Amino acid sequence: MIIVSACLAGVGCRYDGAAKPCKVVIRLVAEGQAIPLCPEQLGGLPTPRQPAEIIGSQVIRKDGVELTAEFTRGALEALKLARLVGAKTAVLKSRSPSCGSGKIYDGSFTGRLVDGSGLFAELCKQAGIEVKTEEEI
């Protein structure tokens, strides 16, 4: 079983209430090969919500409020689901502070990228789940 970011499956769970549908991911879900989840919603965050980015070891909302605890809780809950279904692979949305892998926004809210991964993507890797972005499949 594959875990996928729910926004890639067409769910409007992004900070702005929109989805980022990816045809390959939607097909994987429709064929029963993948399960969509959204770590940020699992962490109790509302939709829509203000954007947040990682700065150092913290997750900071655009207005300066720290959301590290909510993002961490969501990543841990999402990992529970990934383990429950025995996921070996995850296809996660690029650049997100939860789902991004390899490159994420740098915390300046200007679109600049730095090397790094989102909290959920990092947990998946530590748990031995292979993480790919939608741009790599």
Q: Which residues bind ligand SF4 (CB under 6 A)?
A: 5-7, 13-14, 38-40, 93, 96, 98-99
Closest CA to 52 of 66, 41, 42: 66
Nearer to ligand SF4, 18 or 84 (CB): 18
Q: Which is nearer to ligand SF4, 14 or 60 (CB)?
A: 14
Q: Answer yes or no: are the C-beta atoms of 136 and 102 closer than 8 Å.
A: no
Residue 93 CB, shortest distance to ligand SF4, in Å, is 3
Closer Cβ to ligand SF4, 14 or 82, answer by number: 14
Q: Which two tokens stand for residue 75?
A: 């990543």
Q: Which helix (H) or strand (E) element contains residue 54?
A: strand 52-55
Smallest separation, CB 85 to ligand SF4 (Å):
16
Tokens of 117: 């991964």
Smallest distance from ligand SF4 to CB 63, Å: 18
Q: What is the amino acid identity at position 26?
A: I
